A and B are shown apart, each in its own frame.
Chain A
Amino acid sequence: LHAADLHLGLRITRFDDSACNRIGEARFEAIEQLRSCAAKREVDFILIAGDIFDDHTVSRTVSERAFALFEGRGIPCPVYIIPGNHDPLSPGGVWDRDPWARDRTTKHIQLLREPAPVAVPGLPVTIFPCPLRNRNSIDDPTAWILSHPRKSGDPAIRVGLAHGSLNLFPTLPQDDHLIRKDAALACGLDYLALGHWHKPLYERSADAIERTAYSGTHEPMRFPGCGAGLSTGWSSYSTDGDAERFQDEGRGTALFVSIEEAGAPPRIETIEVGRLTWVAERLDLTSRRLGEMISTYAERDNRELTLLRLSLSGVVDPEEHLRIDSELNEIIRNRYCPGSSLHADDVLVEPKTEELSKLVGDGVLSRVLGRLQQESNSADPDLKRVADQALKLLYRIAWEERSQ
């Protein structure tokens, strides 16, 4: 089972505390799903291709929980782990501290600190780990494997375990631990398990066999399809920031890989192990029945495990706006996963013409309304923003007062 980029202790900032906690907790829950999957499928070993932690300075709680999850009873097999660029082998870092310190013997966890072949006990498998010591480097972490070519008649299945960017695109930063795209073939590997990119990817080698793969992150950490502006506050250490390769698809994944023998093509299967589903939706309310929409969101399946970001636009009357503010907002905030949010800034409130005079009367308020409507059309964005908000407040207060 190939997983990567667990980013435990994830640093996200664009949610409130409870949402941050829930999202952080989900990453641990997803590891439990990963363990269950490993047990269910009776895997021989698990490979974690780097970035198990979001940083090498994560708290003791996070590192201990991670250790317990991979070392505890629920795990059915060895777990081979390499440090990635988020949690590199830095002195005094997480790998130098309890419980990950080197002088401790472990039952399942095999933290691979050195770039040297490791034989999997009881199996004809040799793992070629490529641990990272830096955030960024211009060196190919798999380069050392070239000095260990496959020996003639060697029956061992050679598996590479590395963290970095497969050099598939010319725009990749040069210091993003670039891995030659033919590394698997060049190094004589049956399978190259990679981490660093957050969505699953299979790369076909020159022999037309998919021997290189990214598993993607095991738990999503982005709203799919949303740019950096709507991100969670997490950032990669790559110099091109939150590039597309660090965008997940809103679901957590791992790869189930089967290799019959040395030289045989691997069978790779993507499996979902994520806990939460991240969803970003946009709706135009104009001419839409608000009641139905509210019902739909109120009754949606699996909503507790859905992190929803709902952005509304369109034109509604003051009454509907009140319902959005109260009912729909209430549903999103309370029935969905913490961190779910409703964004109605783009919703325009416009009473029907026949209601307008009834709503604001013929006194001062009607004059105020006229002025605000003028300002709402202003080219000055600040003035417009305040006017739009003031208009909403005016309609709401007037509506409430009229209703009384």
Chain B
Amino acid sequence: MILQGFDIENWSCIKRVSVADLPPSGIIVLHGPNGTGKTSIVAALRACLMDFPSGSLSKELKRWFPKNGTEKPRVSVTFRARGYSWRISKQFGSKESKLERLTAAGTWKLEKATAADAHEESRKLVGDTNSDAGLHQLLWLSQAEIRLPDPKDFDTDVQSQLRTVLGVLQTPLDDCFLARVKKEWSRWYGARSKPGEKPKLKKDCALDKALVLLSQQTAELSDIEEKHKEDEKRMERSGDLEVVKRDLRRQQAEQTRQRDLLQQEYENSLKRLEAHQLAAERVRQAEKIRKDQHDARQERALLEQRLHEAERSAETARVDVEETGRRLQVAEHEMRELRRAFHATAAKRQELQTRQNELGALRQSLALKDQMETFQGNLQRAEQVCVELDELKRQAHACAAPDDATILMLETNRRKADQSRAELEAAAIVLTLMPEPGAAAPLLAIDGAPDAEAGPPADGSPITRSVRRRAQIRIPGWGRAELSRGSDARTLDQIEADLRDLDRAFAEGIADFGVTPGDPTALDRLRRLAADKKLRDPELKRRQQELDHLAPQGLDALRSQIARLETLLQAGQSGAGARSQRAGTVMDAADLERLATQRKREIEANETEIAVRQREIRELEIEIDGNADAVGASAARNDRAEPHATAAAGLRHQAVAAKERLASFRATADAVRDQLSRMSSAERIEDSVREADRALQTARLELDAAALSEGELTIRDRLDTAKEGLQATEGRLAEAEREFHQIEAVLRLSEGLHQKRAAAATRVEELHRRVERESLERDAYDRLYGLFEECREKQLGAVMAPIEDRVLRWMRLVRIPDYQSIRFNDKFLPDQLIARDLTTELMLEEESTGTIEQIALMVRLALGSVLSTQAEPVVAVLDDPLTHSDVVRLDRMRAVLKNASAGDTGTVPPAGPLQIVVFTCHPEWFALDGAKLIDLSQENVMSRR
């Protein structure tokens, strides 16, 4: 159904509005400012076409009746459906309604005249629905209706039509199957998990309980099995213990028999054992007495020996005392003699030293005299050299001469000057005047110089002048002639200036050498001066070097040194004379040298003698008092060392030590004598020893008489060993019995363990089977559920592809963020938007309001288009749409509307054309090419009450 026109009177604020000849497709924009009555028009169209019969008393209808007037609303809508044009006219608040059809002749034919018939028929023609149901639910948008219908409210007839056009999404069998699967699946799970993840098992579901129970039962079984294993070990041990016990009992019996036999043997040997024991005791006593007597005899012999040794040592010590005393006296005498000789030698050394000093003084005086004579010779020569040097310097000063560099510079200067001069001469203009004899002398002004009369030369030769730039010739009585050079005059000036500079430099360069600049031989003279200078300078240098050698610190210093030496010599000559007299010889250098050598030998001999004396004194001191260091070290090594045994000890110390030893030996001898006096006499001791020997012999004879056999000797040990062995065996047997009884006690408590073990294992296995069975069922249902969802997605994708493609294309046109796909639900409505990277899934409701409105409108248009055909196009009525869109998107949405209105026959299924009627207060938003704009504010279109 599409609208062709409408007439509305007395509807809400509208007095009258009349619109006709609406195009069958494309965009129709009915616009007017706020309050014009646009929404009222839409309400009128809805009421007339679908919602209310003319006589309806509905409050919803009544609210559109004029508030201040008695006129009844009248609405007439012309529309096209089923290949015909129809006009439904209703006067609300009355029974007056009619439905007419336009005939081929162009006249309206009344089809239904009653209100009910007309209403029902018109409803059928436009879709048999109210204006908010059927396809109108999608395409008749109220003001501010930005969202799509809720899936559960989406008209099932439309879904059915869409299924017919787009294909089957989900069959009733699918629905039932999914419901069954979901129901079963929910036994185990609460919510679906993300793809690839296993859903979480529902707490307290049967399987979960079974798993918990299985865990408990397994633990219980494990405990029982552990106990069973321990019992098995105990049982095995009990078997081992049986063997051990049997063996121990056999051992016990054998050992008991052995012990009894030994006991009998022991009792039989008891009297002989006692007799033997008594004899043995007597032998032990006799041996002890004998030992005591022998010890006494040995002790006395030892004391006597010690006494003898002490007395002999005392005698030796006395001899030592005497000997060391004598040696000490001799040594002390030798010491005195040595010290006397040493003092004499020392006195001689002092005498020799004095003589040596006097000889040294004489030798010094002779040296001073020689030095003074040398200095005087040097002074004389130096004074002569000074005179020669002064003469040479004077000559050099009088004949200044240039050096080689100056000569070279001057030669270069002259060479350049000659060159410049030659250039000037070559470029010069020679002005030659040859006046007649008697003629007045001409006046010449050459190169800017003032006029000068040029008188003719006396020889009558012509007057010649060199002109460089300009020459003026004034000839009295005749006039003036002028000669000028061209542009080269400036170069000649420069050459001339250079020449002047060269001449000036040359003059300055030779000024110091007494040569005039104009002298043509000036350079040669200078070269000669330079040659003379080269000859004079080495001589001057040689004289100066000689002077420096003779008097390095000057002549005055040399004279001062000579004066000082003269003073020293005079002072020394008075002492030297006395010493020469004392020596009785004439003092010359050779004598002095010979004398000095002899004196030196005497001193050395004296020094050697002094050293010998000192060493002898030291050795004797050591002999008398000992080497303190050696004595200390020796003492440290062995405090008890005999003093005379060490050579380090002096004679004095040896004498003292010998005296001490003598006293010590005497004291020892006295002590031993005292001990001997307290002991028995030797004879008495010998008698006691003999008696003890006799007693021991007697006792041994008695012991031999009571001697025991080998068996009697070992019976006691053998019996003890047998008893110990038996005791040990009984101990081990008791231990084995005890362990055996312990095992028996523990195993006795295990009665029924076998059944418990079986029951626990049965429970665990049953639970295992149950869990396995149910897990398989759970996994199978989970797989079915998952696969169903997956397949449903694919099915939806296949069915909804035309819609999705179209909407996605429009979304890209409008520049809605980059989505890869749209996931539709089984009600043909979008659920989620999938991002291009497939990682983000966004519920449509999570998008911005503007985007939701735009996508919702696109989906409405896309779905509506597939239900529209060329033969039976569909109208979309949009009341104030896209109010949440920004200007840019709104601008692009116009393209979407245009595209949707045109339809697309190239798609499968084809998208039919839409008649899109937009009510808006912003006509510029929808002003497309080809759009029909109807201004409701125009009086000829609409008038308000």
Contacts and interface: CB of A to CB of B under 8 A. Distances in A.
Most buried by A among B238, B242, B754, B792: B754
Contact of B173 (A57, A133, A375, A401): A401
Contacts, number: 166
A134 B231 CA distance: 12
B788 A368 contact: yes
Given A96-B744, A135-B232, A364-B174, A90 B758 contact: no
A92 B746 contact: yes
Contacts of A390: 780-781, 783-784, 787
Interface in B710-767: 740-741, 743-755, 757-759, 761-762, 764-766
Contacts of B228: 57
B758 A20 contact: yes
A11 interface: yes
A211 B561 CA distance: 158
A57 B750 contact: yes
Interface string A365-391: 101100110010000000001110110
A397 B743 contact: no
A364 B785 CA distance: 11
Contacts of B781: 390, 393
A229 interface: no
B796 to A, nearest CB: 9
Contacts of A15: 762
B776 interface: yes
B199 to A, nearest CB: 14
B173 A360 contact: yes
Most buried by B among A57, A387, A393: A57
Nearest to A394: B784
B780 A233 contact: no
Q: Is the interface of B mostly helix, strand, loop or mixed?
A: helix
Interface string B475-498: 000000000000000000000000
Contacts of A389: 776-777, 779-780
Nearest to A366: B791
A12 interface: yes
Contacts of B232: 135
B170 interface: yes
Given A56-B235, A92-B750, A390-B783, A20 B762 contact: yes
A363 interface: yes
Contacts of B242: 133
A17 B764 CA distance: 11
B762 A16 contact: yes
Interface in B214-250: 228, 231-232, 234-236, 238-239, 242
Contact of A11 (B180, B234, B238, B757): B757
Contacts of B747: 56-57, 90-93, 96
Nearest to B790: A371
A91 B238 contact: yes
A172 interface: no
Most buried by B among A20, A233, A367: A367
Interface string B10-46: 0000000000000000000000000000000000000
B795 interface: yes
A219 to B, nearest CB: 16
Contacts of B751: 57-60, 94, 97
A65 interface: no
B181 interface: yes
A398 B171 CA distance: 12
B542 interface: no
A91 B749 CA distance: 11
A371 B795 CA distance: 13
B623 to A, nearest CB: 101
Interface residues of A, number: 54
B146 to A, nearest CB: 32
A364 B788 contact: yes
A60 B752 contact: yes
B776 A386 contact: yes
B235 A90 contact: yes
B794 interface: yes
A401 B754 contact: no
A88 interface: yes
A233 B760 CA distance: 12
B108 interface: no
A363 B168 contact: yes
B347 interface: no
Contact of A9 (B171, B745, B754): B754
Given A16-B766, A92-B746, A397 B754 contact: no
A55 interface: yes
B84 interface: no
A97 B745 CA distance: 11
Contacts of A55: 753-754
A309 B234 CA distance: 39
A158 B762 CA distance: 44
B888 interface: no
Contacts of A394: 177, 784
Contacts of B743: 91-92
Nearest to A367: B791
B235 to A, nearest CB: 4
A93 B235 contact: yes
Interface in B379-435: none
B180 A368 contact: no
Contacts of B748: 91-92, 96-97
A181 to B, nearest CB: 25
Nearest to B792: A364
B913 to A, nearest CB: 32
A9 B755 contact: yes
Given A365-B173, A368-B787, A386 B779 contact: yes
Interface in B166-192: 168-171, 173-174, 176-178, 180-181
Contact of A367 (B238, B754, B794): B794
Interface in B147-174: 168-171, 173-174
Most buried by A among B181, B235, B790: B235
Contacts of B759: 17, 20
A57 B753 contact: yes
A60 B751 CA distance: 7
Nearest to A132: B239
Most buried by B among A88, A368, A390, A394: A368
Nearest to B764: A13
B783 A364 contact: no
A245 interface: no
Contacts of B168: 362-363
A135 B788 contact: no
B894 to A, nearest CB: 39
B795 A364 contact: yes
Given A57-B751, A92-B750, A368-B784, A363 B239 contact: no
A394 to B, nearest CB: 6
A368 B791 contact: yes
Interface string A128-157: 000001110100000000000000000000
Given A11-B761, A12-B758, A93-B747, A371 B779 contact: no
Contact of A363 (B174, B740, B766): B174
Contacts of B757: 11
Nearest to B221: A13
B886 to A, nearest CB: 40
Interface in A87-115: 88, 90-94, 96-97
22 contacts: A9-B754, A11-B758, A59-B751, A60-B751, A90-B238, A91-B238, A91-B741, A91-B743, A94-B751, A97-B751, A233-B761, A362-B168, A364-B791, A364-B795, A367-B795, A368-B784, A371-B790, A390-B781, A390-B784, A393-B780, A401-B177, A402-B173
Cβ-closest 4 pairs across A and B: A92-B747, A91-B744, A363-B171, A92-B748
Given A9-B755, A58-B751, 16 more contacts: A11-B761, A12-B758, A13-B764, A58-B754, A92-B744, A93-B747, A135-B232, A362-B171, A364-B795, A371-B791, A372-B784, A372-B787, A389-B779, A394-B784, A401-B173, A401-B176
